[in-house]
Amino acid sequence: MTAADPHSQARRAGTSRRTALQALGAGLALGAAGWPRSAAAQSYQLRLAALSAQRIPAQAVIDRFVAKYPGSSVNMTAADIDQLYTSTRVSLAAGTAAEVLTVQPGNGNPITIGQLNRFIGDLSGFPFAPKIPKSLDALVRFDGRLLMLPIVLSTIGGIYPTKTFESRGWTLPRTWTEFLALCEKIKASGMIPIAAGNGTNWVNQLITYALLPSIVYADNPNFNEDRRAGKVKFATSGWKEALNKYLELQKLGFLSPNPNGTSIDEQLQMVASGKAAMAIVTSGNLANMFKFAGHRDFAIMPIPASSDANKFWTTASASTGYAINAKAAGSEAARAFMNFLAEPDSVNVFASAAVSPTVLPSAPNPEVDRIFRSWSELFRAGRTTPYPDFTWPNPRAQQIHNAGIQELLAGKTTVDDVLRRMDEAYDA
Amino acid sequence: MARARGFALRAALLETGMLLTGVVFAFPLYLLLTLALKPQSSWASDPLGLPTQLFFGNVTAAWTQAHLASAMLTSALVVVASTVILVVLGALAAYWIARRVGRLSYGVYLFFIAGMILPFQLALIPLYSTMRELGLLGSPASLILFYPGLKLPLTIFLYAGFIRSLSRSYEEAASMDGANQWQVFWHVVLPMMRPITGTVVILNGVFIWNDFLTPLLYLSGSRWATLPVVIYTFVGQESGDMGLVFGGLLVAMTPVLIAFFVLQRHMIKGFAGGLKG
Amino acid sequence: MTPESASLGGRPAQSRAPRRRRAVRRVAWWFLAPALAIYVLVIVYPMLAGIWYAFTDWNGLDPDYRFVGLANFRRLAGDPQAVSSLKMTFVFAIAIALLQNLFGLALALALNERLRLRDPLRLLFFMPVVLTPLIISFLWKYIFSTQGPLNTVLAMAGLGAWQLSWLGDPMPAVASIVIATLWQSVGLAMVIYLAGLQSIPAELTEAARLDGAGPWQVLRFVTLPMLAPAMTVTIVNSLITSLKLFDQIYVLTGGGPGYATETMSTLIYKTAFTFAETGYGSAISVVFTFAVAAVVLAALHVLRRREFEHG
């Protein structure tokens, strides 16, 4: 007999208290069943393993996530990529990895989706999956599964202070000869032309990668497939010319002294303090450069390596993105965060904090346009290629390249020897 | 007379020379202290001088940002638990080895000693795999199982040597009074081993507190971290801010420094005497 | 098992000759069992498993792998990085062991003279031994950096030409690692030698002096021979510890530049955990284990013989 039954109310005498209690109980039960739950009452706990260079952008997104879902906490740890190479794999194998991880496309280093594919979840069912340009399929998919969410594009070029170049009348080069001439002018003015940070392991490959597009990919955009098929080898390709040009920069005295003893932080600080004119690094380092210099008047210049201005190519890659730990693929928190990350507002926040062009659609950003102007020209003309190592079958060849550059700079080996060992590792 | 003056001169030279050596030797510690207590902006202008005013910003920021408190607690937990296990199991096994005469016990002794000489790297990967299968990775339990295994050889070496030098008469008297083996061990032998137990605790405790690679592997990515691991992650993250880094280094050094100053005699005796066995 | 004895009053048996019966008194097996169990589980079994994996191509994760015989070892022989790291392992171990003992002995001899500063100096030199190597390595990394305190001090002292890229050039990098390691280990050798020196009966040195021996001769013919046991202990201990050196190399140079400072420890770690080539890593470990065993046993043999000759 419920309280709503008029007959029970008629029998109030002696049973009024009991019926009142019954009414209360029934009311509560009804209320609990039908009470609408507000979406904002959800709160999520998750961990994020981020790359140091993306700490500031990631934090910007985390702050907005926590604002949208109060009570949530996103525990972010940041590490340099060399550390991530080991810690990501070890923690995934141990089952202790964060729910959301930083990964890279392809298969050519320890944190690529190819190398980690057994540990990360398929994102094809997520709402943002259709928004990722099909042209990036080769980068973000492995075995047909969508394994990473790319947010920003990155390139490798010389980050330089625009005001200094303007006041000295230095113009951006379009051929190798012009580039050498520019360095000569910089050197004559008393500044170090190129700050080098080869003490940090992953920095070694960057100048090679900056030069390769003009030398190798301008002539043969299918170089990666050819190498895969064995039709061509590193030792007999434009790689040799690229490495020799790298060393030429050192011979001509354009690199800062003691490159092997300089870390990337010191390298960036040399440019920030005005001692050096440029640092050839990934565009992801712009945020740190701003922090060290205390101002944002920088731009990034692609590095030409050919004598023909029409063969001036550069890199354009979805470099680091985010993946979901396979163990956490069903976790509400991880899914919520990934979806939030892919929303246009988040992409804007991330990209402007990271000062990068984006992969996913986003709002126009005049600062990014200014900084990447020279790169955009090449990008729009289709004269770009992804980072060379993303199709490599194992991470060994990259490691031999990095260590090999250090040895070359120290005069301990030859270009032929390094390329031969890279070929051996690639083909193993 | 000339000889006496020669001695005095030599002594003075030696004293001065040793003082200079001490100053040079102390330089890294001097740097750690002064740089951590100066704001980083002043490092470039005055790299080697004493701080004009003690600046605690670096250490307080590092203390909160690096979660050093929980790391220290984790380290302490692992050290205490592992050391207790080592003392009990090591002493028991060493008693067996030392008091049981025969080729078997000597063979077992050598079996353990081999573990002191052979490098652990060969076992590194298979043990990691075992820990994973046991589901222990990501928890301090993995370390509390690992360190006793690793340090039992040294512990048994120390205890066995000591027990062998003990006269058996006390044990015999006790067993004649009706004590069983366990009671003889617990009430007679163990108390007599206090000096060597001190050495065991100090040598193992210092090693475990300072160990880096194994906690890095076993706790990577989890909510647990020992002090060296936390410092490693912290420095990797904040490498652009050396002031903060030095603050962290100084705070992380403090527990060991305090322990050293409090226990200096025991530490020196433990290390010097312990290795001789 | 209570030995039958007439002294029921509990008088200690030390007044009697020990009976053979007591000498073979058994100790229960369960005294040994727990320690043995953990030791086998954590050390012995994994080491044997490691030897097995050296003959496979296991990547540490997949349940299936193939037996590949000696392929890993052949690869090792032809791998310049692996061969170089084997060499560097010994270079570091021998350099550190020798220098640690040389300087440790010198410091002990100096401190053994009744100096006024003896106690504070002893504390100072020993303190780094207990500090965390990982943390101290970050301190040294800063000291050795190109714009860091070491180069600054050298410039201020007018020794500008001695400024080097301490961590960027191969030879200075090796020296830097040796210096950083020595700083934390010389104190240990010192206190062991100090204890040894203090146990030398004064009459011996006095007698030698009365016979007309000068200080060097006293050192050579009395002190050093008496220190032979201490020498064995410290040298063997140094060798064992520095053969396994990891933290300092990992932090200061990561094995670089190139692989100029790569040792077996760092190489095994990278191979197994960064590149997931655990089969190959195990093969390297097997070679490493044999090398360490050979060096340590050889050193023990030489030093023990010296002890007996002089003891």
Where do the domains of chain A lie?
42-153+318-361, 156-315+371-427
pLDDT more than 70, % of chain B = 97
Q: Decide if A96 and B220 are in contact by the 8 Å CB cutoff.
A: yes
Distance, in Å, from the CA atom of A355 to the CA atom of A348, rounded to the nearest integer, reads 10
Question: Which chains have 3+ CB pairs within 8 A of B?
Answer: A, C
CA A75 to the chain's CA centroid: 19
**Ranges B64-73, B139-148, C152-161, C282-291: which has the least confidence:** C152-161
A42-153+318-361 and A156-315+371-427, same CATH topology: yes
A52 in contact with B at a CB cutoff of 8 Å?
A: yes
> Is the Cβ–Cβ distance between A303 and A157 less than 8 Å?
yes
The two structure tokens encoding residue C52:
């097995």
Helix (H, G, I), strand (E, B) or coil at B7: helix
What's the mean pLDDT in A3-10?
46
What's the mean pLDDT in A236-263?
94
**Ranges A181-185, B32-36, C114-118, C198-202: which has the least confidence:** C114-118
Pick from C8, C27, C41: CB nearest B100: C27
Question: Which chains have 3+ CB pairs within 8 A of A?
Answer: B, C
Q: Decide if A406 and C256 are in contact by the 8 Å CB cutoff.
A: yes
**Residues of chain B positioned with their CB less than 8 A from the CB of A91:** 220-222
What ipTM is given for this predicted complex? 0.90
Pick from C107, C139, C297: CB nearest B32: C139
Residue A269: closest C-alpha in chain C = C147
A199 to chain C, minimum CA–CA distance in Å? 7
Residue C9 phi/psi, 5-degree rounding, is: -75, -5
C94 to chain A, minimum CA–CA distance in Å? 24
> Is the Cβ–Cβ distance between B22 and C124 less than 8 Å?
yes
**Ranges A372-381, B235-244, C32-41, C211-220: which has the least confidence:** C211-220
Question: If contacts are CB pairs under 8 Å, which of residues 92-151 in chain B contact chain C?
Answer: 92-93, 95-97, 99-102, 108, 112, 115-130, 145-146, 148-150
A59 to chain C, minimum CA–CA distance in Å? 27
Nearest residue to A152 (alpha-carbon basis) of A405, A347, A417: A347
What's the mean pLDDT in A278-284?
94
What's the mean pLDDT in A206-226?
93
**Homologous superfamily of domain range B66-237:** MetI-like (1.10.3720.10)
pLDDT at B154: 92
A22-27, long-range: CB within 8 Å, 24+ apart, which pairs? A26/A2, A27/A3
Q: Decide if C146 and A258 are in contact by the 8 Å CB cutoff.
A: yes
pTM beyond 0.95, yes or no: no
What's the mean pLDDT in B179-193?
86
Residue C10: closest C-alpha in chain B = B173
Residue B47: how many other CB atoms lie within 10 Å: 17
Higher per-residue confidence, B119 vs A240: A240
Confidence label for B206 from pLDDT (cuts 50, 70 and 90): very high
Strand A45-51 vs strand A317-318: parallel, antiparallel, or unpaired? unpaired
**Residues of chain A positioned with their CB less than 8 A from the CB of C259:** 403, 407
Higher per-residue confidence, A305 vs C218: A305
Strand A153-154 vs strand A145-146: parallel, antiparallel, or unpaired? unpaired
pLDDT at A3: 42
What DSSP string describes B192-257? HTHHHHHHHHHHHHHHHHH--HHHHHHHTTSS---HHHHHHHHHHHSTT-HHHHHHHHHHHHHHHH
Q: Which of A55, A91, A202, A290 to mutate to test the interface with B (most CBs of B within 10 A)?
A: A91
Where do the domains of chain C lie?
71-310
Residue A254 phi/psi, 5-degree rounding, is: -90, -15
B233 in contact with A at a CB cutoff of 8 Å?
A: yes
**Residues of chain B positioned with their CB less than 8 A from the CB of A94:** 132, 137-138, 217-218, 220-222
> Is the Cβ–Cβ distance between A407 and A421 less than 8 Å?
no
A199 in contact with C at a CB cutoff of 8 Å?
A: yes
> Is the Cβ–Cβ distance between A120 and A263 less than 8 Å?
no
Where do the domains of chain B lie?
66-237
> Is the pLDDT at B122 greater than 80, yes or no?
yes
Among 1.10.3720.10, 3.40.1350.10, 3.40.50.300, 3.40.50.2300, name the CATH number for the domain at C71-310. Answer: 1.10.3720.10
Q: Decide if A395 and C273 are in contact by the 8 Å CB cutoff.
A: no
Which segments of chain C have a pLDDT < 50? Answer: 1-24
> Is the pLDDT at A39 greater than 70, yes or no?
no
pLDDT more than 90, % of chain A = 55
Tallying the residues shown for chain B, one arrives at 277
**Residues of chain B positioned with their CB less than 8 A from the CB of A90:** 216-217, 220-221
Pick from C169, C259, C273: CB nearest A260: C169
Question: If contacts are CB pairs under 8 Å, which of residues 233-292 in chain A contact chain B?
Answer: 263, 265, 288, 291-292
pLDDT at A280: 96
Q: Which of C166, C275, C278 to mutate to test the interface with A (most CBs of A within 10 A)?
A: C275
What DSSP string describes A113-181? HHHHTTTB---TTSTTGGGS-GGGHHHHEETTEE--EE-BEE-EEEEEEHHHHHHHT----SSHHHHHH
**Residues of chain B positioned with their CB less than 8 A from the CB of A49:** 221
Distance, in Å, from the CA atom of C54 to the CA atom of C236, rounded to the nearest integer, reads 28
| Angle subtended by helix axes A55-68 and A344-354, to nearest 10 | 150
Q: Which of B129, B219, B220 to mutate to test the interface with A (most CBs of A within 10 A)?
A: B220
Fold of A42-153+318-361: D-Maltodextrin-Binding Protein; domain 2 (3.40.190)
Pick from A94, A265, A291: CB nearest B132: A94
Report pLDDT digits (tens) over A18-34.
555 555 445 554 444 44
Residue A315: how many other CB atoms lie within 10 Å: 27
Query: Which residues have C-beta within 8 Å of that of residue B17, sequence separation ≥ 6?
Result: C110
pLDDT more than 70, % of chain A = 90
What 8-state DSSP symbol labels residue B187? I
pLDDT at B276: 62
Is the C-alpha dihedral spanning C124, C129, C133, C137 positive or negative?
A: positive
- Which helix H or strand E contains A103, and what residues bound it? strand A100-103
Mean pLDDT taken over chain B: 88
Among 3.40.190.10, 3.60.70.12, 3.40.50.1000, 3.30.70.380, name the CATH number for the domain at A156-315+371-427. Answer: 3.40.190.10
Q: Decide if C3 and B231 are in contact by the 8 Å CB cutoff.
A: no
Nearest residue to A347 (alpha-carbon basis) of A326, A330, A368, A332: A368
> Is the Cβ–Cβ distance between B169 and B128 less than 8 Å?
no
Pick from B137, B219, B236: CB nearest A83: B236
Distance, in Å, from the CA atom of A301 to the CA atom of C92, rounded to the nearest integer, reads 44
CA B193 to the chain's CA centroid: 20
Q: Give start and end residues of each alpha helix (H) in C211-277.
A: 215-218, 224-226, 228-243, 247-252, 264-269
Q: Decide if C53 and B125 are in contact by the 8 Å CB cutoff.
A: yes
Q: Decide if B221 and A292 are in contact by the 8 Å CB cutoff.
A: no
**Residues of chain C positioned with their CB less than 8 A from the CB of A412:** 170, 258, 260
B39 cis-preceded (ω within 30 degrees of 0): no
B272 in contact with C at a CB cutoff of 8 Å?
A: yes
Q: Decide if C168 and A261 are in contact by the 8 Å CB cutoff.
A: yes
Question: If contacts are CB pairs under 8 Å, which of residues 140-159 in chain C contact chain B?
Answer: 140, 142-143, 149, 152-153, 156
B172 in contact with C at a CB cutoff of 8 Å?
A: yes
B26 in contact with C at a CB cutoff of 8 Å?
A: yes
- Which helix H or strand E contains B274, and what residues bound it? helix B242-276
Query: Which residues have C-beta within 8 Å of that of residue B135, sequence separation ≥ 6?
Result: none
Q: Which of B121, B164, B256 to mutate to test the interface with C (most CBs of C within 10 A)?
A: B121
Q: Which of A55, A59, A87, A275 to mutate to test the interface with B (most CBs of B within 10 A)?
A: A87
> Is the pLDDT at A97 greater than 90, yes or no?
no
Nearest residue to A176 (alpha-carbon basis) of A267, A252, A232: A252
pLDDT at C73: 92
Q: Decide if B227 and C13 are in contact by the 8 Å CB cutoff.
A: no
What's the mean pLDDT in A67-91?
88
What's the mean pLDDT in A361-390?
88
Helix (H, G, I), strand (E, B) or coil at A79: strand
Q: Which of B212, B238, B239 to mutate to test the interface with A (most CBs of A within 10 A)?
A: B239
Pick from B108, B152, B271: CB nearest C191: B271
Q: Characterize B20-41 residue by residue with b for buried, 16 or more Cβ atoms within 10 angstroms of its Cβ, and e for exposed.
A: ebeeebbebbebbbbbbbbebe
**Ranges A218-222, B66-70, C209-213, C256-260: which has the least confidence:** C209-213
pLDDT at C210: 84
**Residues of chain B positioned with their CB less than 8 A from the CB of C234:** 275
